[in-house]
Amino acid sequence: MALALFDLDNTLLAGDSDHAWLEFLSEQGVVDGDTLRQANDRYYRAYLDGTLDIQEFLSFVLAPLAQQPRSRLENWHRQYMEERVAPMITPEARALVEKHREAGDTLLIITATNRFVTAPIATALGVPELLATEVEADADGAFTGRSYGIPCFREGKVQRLAQWLGERGWDWEESLAQATFYSDSHNDLPLLEAVGQPVAVDPDPELERTARQRGWPILHLHGACRPAV
């Protein structure tokens, strides 16, 4: 059974779920809008540039989760799914997932965005397996504002996937040789270079150059231009 691996933001989604979630929280008045927007945009540019400090970013992005009751966050997330995420899911992205489902492949989203934000998105896309950055909660289920484990980012995606395969007793080399990985970002080059079938999806300029140099397929799910957030 072959693996079909999907990055989420700007790959299966026509936008960035993390960025959109923080913008949504700004609209709810959870934090100062101008301060949040400036930091959010700065981190997003660093991500696109390949200079993101993931631990610094996680401290920033997870802090609002610790400031609100879990029930309120979940209510907001349902609204966020309807208003922000649903418009980001294109028919082309759904068709890609269905193609691999019909082929009998094992479907897995692997994303740097945290599990609280992304688990309902994976469900909406019909993808049963998710590797995401994990969010720490206390014994009562309230978020602490911290992550735990290996962040699912850059080389961390490779490490997390290795753990996931090991837990299932699947051979690393055999599994990766038959795997397809779809991503828009040069930040995912460590995993793209590890799989047998790397595919660039509406790629950023650096990934597009790499894909053309190496003869990797380039797929457009969201039009010829990179989607706006």
| Least confident range of 22-36, 125-139, 178-192, 202-216 | 22-36
Q: Beta-strand (E) ranges in the chain?
A: 3-6, 106-114, 129-137, 143-148, 180-183, 197-201, 218-219
Residues 108, 109, 115, 119, Cα dihedral to 10°: -80
> Which of helix, strand or coil describes residue 86?
helix
49 catalytic? Reply is: no
Instruction: Please indicate whether residue 9 is annotated as part of the active site.
Output: yes
Of all residues in the chain, the percent with pLDDT exceeding 70 is: 97
Token pair 């991500």 is found at: 47
- Candidate list 7, 16, 184, 202, residue with the active-site label: 7
CATH of domain 3-219: 3.40.50.1000
Residue 131: what pLDDT?
98
How does pLDDT run across 97-145, given as a tens digit for each residue?
Answer: 999 999 999 999 999 999 999 999 999 999 999 999 999 999 999 999 9
Nearest CA to 32 out of 71, 77, 64 is that of 64
